[in-house]
Amino acid sequence: MLNRQIVGSNQTGYSAGKWEGDTLVVSTFALDERACFDEWGTPMSGDMRVEERRQRIAPAKLQLKITVHDPTIYTEPWTSSALKYTLQHGVELQEIICAPIDENAFSERIRNPADTRAK
């Protein structure tokens, strides 16, 4: 953990990472409780802590598990199913800025095309 006092909260929280063997563990805390946890409006409190565990499971594959601890909102911590990512050779990552003013552009470029529900 960080060796300093955190004053206040931050919308995206404060994160600290460490290695546990071959797994990178990132803990995030002091999130702004006025925000939602995700784009679906999942509730959260200022007590929420998020732990991300990233592990390379093959030369071109990465696995991510996320555990959410929020005793104010949830009766017990919950962990996502393992998310697996495959390295895409020749694909350039795009920067996405998550600011309210960019919401419409984000929806047009990313969210709407990815919506798999019947149109």
Domain boundaries, the chain: 14-88
CA distance 52 to 27: 6
Dump pLDDT digits (tens) for 62-71: 999 999 999 9
Model confidence, pTM: 0.68
Dump pLDDT digits (tens) for 59-96: 999 999 999 999 998 999 999 999 999 988 888 877 76
Average pLDDT over residues 15-42: 86
**Residue 8, pLDDT above cutoff 60:** no
**Residue 6, pLDDT above cutoff 70:** no
Contacts of 42 (CB under 8 A, 6+ apart): 36
Running DSSP on this structure, what letter comes out for residue 3?
A: S
